[in-house]
Chains A and B, each alone.
Chain A
Amino acid sequence: MFERILLIALFFLTVSILVGLYRVIKGPSLPDRVVALDTIGINIIAGVAIFSILLNTHAFFDIILLIGILSFIGTISFSKFIERGYIIEYKRDC
């Protein structure tokens, strides 16, 4: 019973990731795609947590923290690129 409920939760997460993928492909502007990719990353975090209950191991908790940090850095650099046109600015030499 418990495992079946976990599988239902994984199905919900899969549907949500597929909707995010649709928004990545179709989205009319560039910020739409970046928001959808951020949402996909957060849903993958929840999926890894449910999988670690299903497999009954605690070896994957590093992956949760890692995907969170990587998704945040990617979104920040993409938004800076959209807003200003560059990511790392030049240092003024004087």
Chain B
Amino acid sequence: MSISVIVKIVVTVLILGGTALSILSAFGMLRLPDVYTRTHAATKSTTLGVLCTLLGTFLYFWQTQDIVSIRLLLGIVFVFLTAPVAGHLICRAAYRSGVELAQESTEDELKKVLDKREKREN
């Protein structure tokens, strides 16, 4: 088994795994009942999926054409840093603007803390 066949198998596994994670997060966004649970599904698994896909692309161009692309590595680092921050900020904005939790959820711990702080300031 030559080296290029092994590289192609590894790249195939990485890309198919990444896109499978992406479609999994799409089904999570379709079926979950709430803004917060949907953000949970959309942020984590899509980030891991796109990281796997970009890593597969990087390996392919490194092994077949001898291109070590710094731009692709920077893209991997940037997506890995910024996608959870964006999910956190949009969740916080949803809570502050008064979007309700789902019917099935039993306890809202942040509401107690915010009420106590508001009472102390008044």
Contacts and interface: CB of A to CB of B under 8 A. Distances in A.
Contact of A79 (B8, B12, B72, B92): B92
A65 B50 contact: no
Contacts of A35: 29, 35, 38-39, 42-43, 87, 90
Contacts of A8: 16
Interface residues of B, number: 53
Contacts of A29: 35, 94, 99
A29 to B, nearest CB: 5
B87 to A, nearest CB: 7
The SS class assigned to the A binding surface is: helix
Nearest to B29: A23
Contacts of B93: 31, 79-80, 82-83
B114 interface: no
Nearest to A62: B71
Nearest to A61: B71
A31 B29 contact: no
Contacts of B49: 46
Contacts of B87: 35, 38
Nearest to B28: A19
Contact of A31 (B20, B72, B90): B90
A69 B71 CA distance: 13
